[in-house]
Amino acid sequence: GYTDGADVAEMRGNWAVGNPLTLRVGPRITPWTVEENHVVGRVYEDYNGPQITNPGGLWPNNRWLAQKPTSETWVRVTPSRYEPGRAHVAVVNFPLASTVGVDFSGALALDQKYAVWCADDPLGPPILRGQYDGRPVTFPMTNLPLAVPHGGMVYPVSSFGPTWPEFAAFIVRSL
């Protein structure tokens, strides 16, 4: 379960952005690898434990920010291990820009045709189509499609708003 702990743990290469709580860690696990993460917000020890005021002292190979940066955009393109020509894109757009440039160099070959879907509406039409020329592709960060859930709803759809322009996820597929 969530409170049973673990003998070994690894938290590597993640982004965690919260307001005000970002991360609860504990009980202490040894050995525990915590590195190459970007964390914005407060970090707490254990479920109801105290706030860790200096996480960088415990885990120095990470980036710990108390507040959201106002001028940074984080973009991650992750090629699929299972489907050649497919990648997932995550964008954290702190300045709330209406568009963001995305580099496909690790995911698509030059001159490869592609289509991009908003992960909020993966069965809808693509939001972009093109042919990769080696330059960053401009992704919209506003007015993205949201699929309407079907079936029983615990909460009405109107209680959830879009996460964009601050965050959006996309699916890229070669054609």
Per-residue pLDDT of the chain (175 residues; tens, 9 = 90+): 455 566 677 888 888 887 666 677 665 555 678 889 888 888 876 666 777 777 888 888 989 888 889 999 999 999 999 999 999 999 999 999 999 999 999 999 999 999 999 999 999 999 999 999 999 999 999 999 988 777 666 555 555 678 899 999 999 999 9
CA separation for the pair 100, 70 (Å, rounded): 15
pLDDT at residue 1, rounded to an integer: 45
pLDDT at residue 72, rounded to an integer: 93
CB-based contact 87:80 (threshold 8 Å): yes
**Region class of 114: left (phi > 0), else alpha (psi between -120 and 50), else beta:** beta
Identity of residue 5: G
Measured between its terminal Cα atoms, the distance across the chain in Å is: 42
CA separation for the pair 14, 37 (Å, rounded): 5
Phi first, then psi, for residue 58 (nearest 5°) are -85, -40
pLDDT at residue 152, rounded to an integer: 61
Closest CA to 77 of 112, 113, 102: 102
pLDDT at residue 56, rounded to an integer: 82
Closest CA to 122 of 147, 140, 99, 102: 147
DSSP 85: T
Residue indicated by tokens 């079936």: 151
CB-based contact 21:42 (threshold 8 Å): yes
Predicted structure pTM score: 0.83
pLDDT at residue 66, rounded to an integer: 84
